[in-house]
């Protein structure tokens, strides 16, 4: 392997299987037309089947990022927003751009757990509470069913749980959407399914939220190649679960080996690891060696890095570069 390796965007390092590529390719012949209701309907059905939420509660979009943006915008017109800190940087960036009151609830150090009671207090009067669980950048699963129940029952607003890394955690609260009309769960096919370049995201939500977003339903739809590839990917769940198992195994190996070098590695339920090294500007030093990791220095001291789990070969290069920078004066 030569050149730069990119372990900074939490992508899957494995390409999609042939049937997924073929489905996208085949659909290209018809891209003079917009995606049809039939194609989008088929995707919704396949997603409903996969996630267990009722088909009428599933909303599809070209990625979760755009959905998060629209939901933040929608609820910011109704009142304050509560986010956690740290969180997926897009959530913080969009929330702060909306001109509404944004309250940040800091995860409790050293383990980055969710301070539930303070969060419940703040959530009571907020229009929207957004929690990515598993959390980016810490990798930690933050919510259990009990905390969802308490948050939904005590809040007058809506709770948005972003489960973009669900498959790596193997824990979901998406089934609770049918019990709580103020719960929204978002998920993506950019991570475990390895379709980041096609941007397919979805959410399960109650009737009122779906009605509020209905005017944007057509504008937010995935493209035809994205929808067709996603449907094909959902027919081959085994391919995805094998990759998730591979990534999870590698994650534990990288964690073990980095820990043995004296690096503090945080437990993760995702396809990435948050680490605290002994080196200032660790991300920059790795980049100088051709390994690009996410630099979370706007949220943490510059000793921290967030590294995506790649192929075993990519992970080996990361580990040897890490070893090199740790040996620096």
Ligand X SMILES: Cc1ncc(COP(=O)(O)O)c(C=O)c1O
Name the site residues for ligand X (rule: CB under 6 A): 10, 63-65, 88, 132, 136, 162, 164, 188, 190, 196, 199, 201
Q: Got the DSSP string for 248-305?
A: HHHHHHHHHHHHHTT-EE---SSSEEEEE-SSTTHHHHHHTTTEEEB--TTTS-TTEE
Closest CB to ligand X among 196 and 317? 196
Q: Give the residue with the Cβ less far from ligand X, 132 or 314.
A: 132
Number of Cα atoms under 13 Å in the Cβ half of residue 11: 18
Q: Are 104 and 129 in contact (CB under 8 A)?
A: no
Burial of 207 (0-12, 13-18, 19+ CB in 10 A): exposed
Considering beta carbons, is residue 10 or 277 the nearer one to ligand X?
10
Half-sphere exposure of 120 (CA within 13 A, CB side): 13
Residue 141 in contact with residue 171, Cβ under 8 Å?
yes
What distances in angstroms separate CA 86 from CA 64, 82, 219, 264, one per listed residue? 18, 12, 30, 18
State in angstroms the smallest separation of the CB of 231 from ligand X. 16
Structure tokens at 128: 């929207």
**Which of 201, 310 has the CB closer to ligand X?**
201
Exposure class string for 76-94: b at 16+ Cβ within 10 A, else e: beeebbbbbebbbebbbeb
Shortest separation between residue 91's beta carbon and ligand X, angstroms? 7
Minimum distance from CB of 200 to ligand X (Å)? 7
Q: How far is the CB of 324 from ligand X (least distance, A)?
A: 27
Question: Min. distance of Cβ 327 from ligand X in angstroms?
Answer: 31
Residue nearest to ligand X according to CB distances in the complex:
63
Q: Which residue has the tokens 């390796």?
A: 5
Please state the closest distance from residue 261 (CB atom) to ligand X, in A: 26
**At closest approach, how far in Å is the CB of 156 from ligand X?**
25
> Residue 176 or residue 192: which is nearer to ligand X going by CB?
192
- Do β-strands 304-308 and 272-276 pair in parallel, antiparallel, or remain unpaired? antiparallel
Which is nearer to ligand X, 203 or 286 (by Cβ)?
203
Tell me whether residue 80 or residue 86 sits nearer to ligand X (CB atom): 86
């Amino acid at each position: 392997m030569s050149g730069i390796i990119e372990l900074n965007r939490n992508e899957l390092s494995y390409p999609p299987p042939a049937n997924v590529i073929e489905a996208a390719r085949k659909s290209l012949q018809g891209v003079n037309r917009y995606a049809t209701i039939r194609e989008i309907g088929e995707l919704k059905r396949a997603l409903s089947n996969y996630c267990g939420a009722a088909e009428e509660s599933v909303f599809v979009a070209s990625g979760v990022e755009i959905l998060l943006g629209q939901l933040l915008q929608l609820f910011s017109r109704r009142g304050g927003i509560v986010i956690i800190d740290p969180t997926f940087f897009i959530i913080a960036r969009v929330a702060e751009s909306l001109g509404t009151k944004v309250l940040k609830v800091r995860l409790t150090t050293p383990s980055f757990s969710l301070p539930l009671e303070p969060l419940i207090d703040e959530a009571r009067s907020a229009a929207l509470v957004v929690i990515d669980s598993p959390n980016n950048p810490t990798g930690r699963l933050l919510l259990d069913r009990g905390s969802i129940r308490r948050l939904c029952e005590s809040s007058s607003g809506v709770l948005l749980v972003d489960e973009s890394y669900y498959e790596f955690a193997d824990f979901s609260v998406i089934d609770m959407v049918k019990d709580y009309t103020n719960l929204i769960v978002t998920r993506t096919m950019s991570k475990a399914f390895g379709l980041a370049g096609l941007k397919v995201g979805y959410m399960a939500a109650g009737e009122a939220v779906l009605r509020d977003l209905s005017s944007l339903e057509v504008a937010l739809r995935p493209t035809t190649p994205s929808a067709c590839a996603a449907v094909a990917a959902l027919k081959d769940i085994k391919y995805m679960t094998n990759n998730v198992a591979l990534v999870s195994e590698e994650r534990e190996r990288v964690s073990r080996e980095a820990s043995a070098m004296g690096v503090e590695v945080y437990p993760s339920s995702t396809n990435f690891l948050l680490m605290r090294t002994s080196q200032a500007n660790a991300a920059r030093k790795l980049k100088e060696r051709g390994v690009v990791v996410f630099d979370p220095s706007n949220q943490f001291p510059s000793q921290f890095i967030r590294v995506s789990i790649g192929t075993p070969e990519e992970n080996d290069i990361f580990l040897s570069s890490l070893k090199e920078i740790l040996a620096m004066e």
